[in-house]
Structure 1
Amino acid sequence: MSNFAEQSEAMKAGEVPPSATRDSLERRVFRICTVVIATCAATYVVWMLIDLLLLLFACALVSLILLTLTHALRRRCNLPFAIALGLVVLAIIGLLGAAVTFFGATIQGEFAELANRLPDAWASVQQRMQMSPLGAAVLLKAQELAPSGQAIVNLATTALAAVGGALSGLAIVLVGGLYLAAQPTLYSIGLLRMIPARARGPAAETLDAVAISLRNWLKGQALGMLFVGVATGTGLWFVGVPAAWAIGLVAGLAEFVPYAGIFLAAIPAVVLGFGQGTSTGLWTMGVLIAVQQLQGNLVMPVLQNRMVDLPPAITIFGIIASGILFGVPGVLLATPLTIVVLVLIRRLYLHEDKQEVLASGDNPPGWSSGAA
């Protein structure tokens, strides 16, 4: 009885019995350890499946493109969803087939001319550089850093393997995107059912904000790619650079990764330009700089004000971070991934509502001008 009495007195005094304290502490420690271990295990599984998740994200982007075009067609023609989606897919296939049929031979000739002229142009640039001490020193250093024959073979093998993997991944992305677009309600409801009922409403608004932001970005990016490709090809053709339209095509397609297209096009363009002569080379550099300035200071700001506003600094650091974490696929998907992260931050951390997140880039509520 003495023990019960002591326990009663201890409880009246607000004390917890040692055995109860020990049991409660053990339970809490067990629960904390379980949560920590489960979190670490889930993080490890996600990291091991990161390539699959990036592939799924790319499929979602393709699906978003198809659904955007399908809904636009339905609004104009009042067609059933399945018929509208089929017409969109057939139209895309038809446009690609027409492009290959009518422009394939021309583009092939352009790339063949580009491949034939680059060695001679590079030799001409080397001769010009040899005329100055600084140029000769640069060439000597470049020759010292040049890879060996075996290194070039290994690099070519790796590149071919990467191209094969990229083509197979592209096929999976296109087919997967089509499947997602064919039954969007099925997958969206399935995703929402994985979320607890009490959080389902806010989660649905967040997903809507992500989808609308990505759709707006895709619209603006498509127009920006078109501008870069046409402007680069036209400008280089006007100053007399060979294979101008092939370079413009590369620049336009590569502009899917912001700021990358113009730099990928700059190397062959500058080499071919200076191969034609110093004045042509200088004009080539002027065209590339002009296109980049117009794209960055006129075209994209106008598009961003109507689509989605993504600050250049955040875009650049997003590309770098995605490249470090996920490699080449991360670089290709860096900008849409950055948009998703920004929307999640604004919704979950800053607690902005859907309308605030989707507000115009001129004056987003709660953010300074130019913020995403």
Structure 2
Amino acid sequence: MANFTEQSEMMQADAVTLPPARDTLERRVFRTTVVVLATAAAAYVIWLLVDLLLLLFACALVSLILLTVTRVIRRNARLPFAAALTLAVLGLLGLIVGASWFFGATLQGEFAELATRLPSAWANLQPRLRTSPVGSAILDQAQALAPSGQTIVNAATTALAAVGGALSGLAIVLVGGLYLAAQPTLYSVGLLRMVPARAQKTAAETLDAISESLRNWLKGQALGMLFVGVGTGLGLWLVGVPAAWAIGLVAGLAEFVPYAGIIVAGIPAVVLAFGQGTDTGLWTIGVLIAVQQLQGNLVMPLLQNRMVDLPPAITIFGIIAAGILFGVAGVLLATPLTIVVLVLVRRLYLGEDKHEVLSGGGDAAEAAQPDATNRAG
């Protein structure tokens, strides 16, 4: 399975050299006008099709996951590509089905317990909040924000429609990702043919850097999600929070959006814990903080060799920007989209080569600094 750079080299070897065309002022003016109009029209069309493009990007991520697993299988079992891809798909499906069967009954019971205990835990927490001015202010704000009956009905209807749309979108993403993974050469060559011949090498190296950066991010993110899910579930179970493993599962899945797992899981966990008692609530807050700190200061640094160098501030503002521009889908895909933008900036604007982008660029910059100093001296 060739990468983009190899495809570009083969295409250039097969290309036929044409004699240069005579360039005139009229030709240049016409060409510039066409380029400006085409760029404006393309930008408008892209904005209209932004939801479709996000769906296509999600399909590409699924394809990248399947191709990564396929590569591992081919390297260890030396199977043909089709057989390795089939094993990868069946293995991932078997893992999902097996985990659902093994943990399904337990998690179903815990989610039911969570839905039952949350209202009573909130009712028990309200008298304690009334004992302090800060708690009373929080409770008044929460009650002021409480929706009316008609609002709840409208929200439920909207939520059901959103769930249906999300399920259909998920099916499209999975099927589309499988089609992309089944014929990667076909789509990579087609993408490169849309680029002028003189820029194909640069485009191919940039696409290789993007795919490798996304692959590294997916590996590290999967391990980070596993740590947050297991760490949160285990910690809450030890301090006696009800439905601890269900909350841990939510935290792990939500961690696909960086920093979201602890926040999403923290609200029901704290409400349930303080419903059990003040000590349990304080221990729960300690567990959530400990998991977040361990992930940020121990786990993620250990995984840096598996992930692209993405500063936390850029990650946070990338999530906010994607949410404002593209809504919920933008939030879910914000981090990989930020990685793509960062790689494009470093390759096309800063002029770094593919190896500098994949290595983080820090070592290359440090190595180049003494040389520049010596030349200046």
Q: What TM-score, normalized to structure 2?
A: 0.88
1:91-102 counterparts in 2 under 5 A?
91-102=91-102
Alpha-carbon distance between aligned partners in 1 of 2:366 and 2:214, rounded to the nearest angstrom: 19
Give the structure 1 partner of residue 111 of structure 2.
Answer: 111
- Shift of residue 98, structure 1, vs aligned partner: 1.1
| 8 Å Cα contact 1:129-1:139 kept in structure 2 | yes
Cα-to-partner distance string for 1:216-250 (whole Å, 9 max, x where unaligned): 00000000000000000000000000000000000
SS in structure 1 of the partner of residue 147 of structure 2: coil
- Shift of residue 353, structure 1, vs aligned partner: 0.8
Give the structure, 1 or 2, with the largest relative contact order (CA under 8 Å, sep 6 or more).
Answer: 2
- Shift of residue 364, structure 1, vs aligned partner: 4.3
Give the structure 2 partner of residue 67 of structure 1.
Answer: 67
| 8 Å Cα contact 1:66-1:181 kept in structure 2 | yes
Q: Which amino acid aligns with 1:197?
A: A
1:166 maps onto 2:194 in alignment: no
Give the structure 1 partner of residue 213 of structure 2.
Answer: 213
Give the structure 2 partner of residue 352 of structure 1.
Answer: 352
Tell me whether 310-319 or 88-97 shows the greater mean CA deviation. Answer: 88-97
| 8 Å Cα contact 2:217-2:306 kept in structure 1 | no
SS in structure 2 of the partner of residue 366 of structure 1: helix
Give the structure 1 partner of residue 9 of structure 2.
Answer: none
- Shift of residue 304, structure 1, vs aligned partner: 1.6
Alpha-carbon distance between aligned partners in 2 of 1:323 and 1:62, rounded to the nearest angstrom: 21
Gap change, CA 1:175 and 1:306, over 3 Å in 2: closer
| 8 Å Cα contact 1:306-1:360 kept in structure 2 | no
Q: How many residues align?
A: 344
Alpha-carbon distance between aligned partners in 2 of 1:346 and 1:27, rounded to the nearest angstrom: 34
Cα-to-partner distance string for 1:280-329 (whole Å, 9 max, x where unaligned): 00000000000001111111122123432211001001101111111111
Q: Which amino acid aligns with 2:365?
A: G
Give the structure 2 partner of residue 365 of structure 1.
Answer: 364
- Shift of residue 272, structure 1, vs aligned partner: 0.5
Gap change, CA 1:28 and 1:92, over 3 Å in 2: closer
Q: Which amino acid aligns with 1:307?
A: M
SS in structure 2 of the partner of residue 264 of structure 1: helix
SS in structure 1 of the partner of residue 303 of structure 2: helix
Alpha-carbon distance between aligned partners in 1 of 2:49 and 2:202, rounded to the nearest angstrom: 27
1:166-315 counterparts in 2 under 5 A?
166-315=166-315
- Shift of residue 28, structure 1, vs aligned partner: 6.9
| 8 Å Cα contact 1:130-1:136 kept in structure 2 | yes
1:127 maps onto 2:106 in alignment: no
Alpha-carbon distance between aligned partners in 1 of 2:240 and 2:246, rounded to the nearest angstrom: 13
In structure 2, list runs of 5 or more residues that go unmatched: 1-23, 368-377
Cα-to-partner distance string for 1:44-102 (whole Å, 9 max, x where unaligned): 00000011011000000000000000010110010011111111111111111111211
SS in structure 1 of the partner of residue 241 of structure 2: coil
Q: Which amino acid aligns with 2:121?
A: A
| Fraction of identical pairs, as percent | 78
Give the structure 2 partner of residue 9 of structure 1.
Answer: none
Gap change, CA 1:133 and 1:349, over 3 Å in 2: closer
Q: Which amino acid aligns with 1:65?
A: I
- Shift of residue 142, structure 1, vs aligned partner: 2.4
- Shift of residue 144, structure 1, vs aligned partner: 2.3
Give the structure 2 partner of residue 333 of structure 1.
Answer: 333
Cα-to-partner distance string for 1:157-196 (whole Å, 9 max, x where unaligned): 1111111111110110000000100111111111111111
1:31-46 counterparts in 2 under 5 A?
32-46=32-46
- Shift of residue 131, structure 1, vs aligned partner: 2.5
- Shift of residue 32, structure 1, vs aligned partner: 4.7
Q: Which amino acid aligns with 2:153?
A: V
Alpha-carbon distance between aligned partners in 1 of 2:53 and 2:299, rounded to the nearest angstrom: 32
Gap change, CA 1:367 and 1:130, over 3 Å in 2: farther
| 8 Å Cα contact 1:228-1:295 kept in structure 2 | yes
Gap change, CA 1:178 and 1:306, over 3 Å in 2: closer
SS in structure 2 of the partner of residue 253 of structure 1: helix
- Between structure 1 and structure 2, the one with the greater Rg is 1
Alpha-carbon distance between aligned partners in 1 of 2:144 and 2:224, rounded to the nearest angstrom: 40
| 8 Å Cα contact 2:107-2:246 kept in structure 1 | yes
CA RMSD of aligned residues (A): 1.8
Alpha-carbon distance between aligned partners in 2 of 1:364 and 1:172, rounded to the nearest angstrom: 41
In structure 1, list runs of 5 or more residues that go unmatched: 1-22
| 8 Å Cα contact 2:113-2:242 kept in structure 1 | yes
Tell me whether 340-349 or 352-361 shows the greater mean CA deviation. Answer: 352-361
- Shift of residue 30, structure 1, vs aligned partner: 6.0
| 8 Å Cα contact 1:251-1:265 kept in structure 2 | yes
1:47 maps onto 2:47 in alignment: yes
Alpha-carbon distance between aligned partners in 2 of 1:364 and 1:47, rounded to the nearest angstrom: 38
| 8 Å Cα contact 1:273-1:280 kept in structure 2 | yes
Give the structure 2 partner of residue 146 of structure 1.
Answer: 146
Alpha-carbon distance between aligned partners in 2 of 1:175 and 1:266, rounded to the nearest angstrom: 34
Tell me whether 77-86 or 139-148 shows the greater mean CA deviation. Answer: 139-148
| 8 Å Cα contact 2:219-2:306 kept in structure 1 | no
Alpha-carbon distance between aligned partners in 2 of 1:278 and 1:315, rounded to the nearest angstrom: 35
Q: What TM-score, normalized to structure 1?
A: 0.89
| 8 Å Cα contact 1:214-1:336 kept in structure 2 | yes
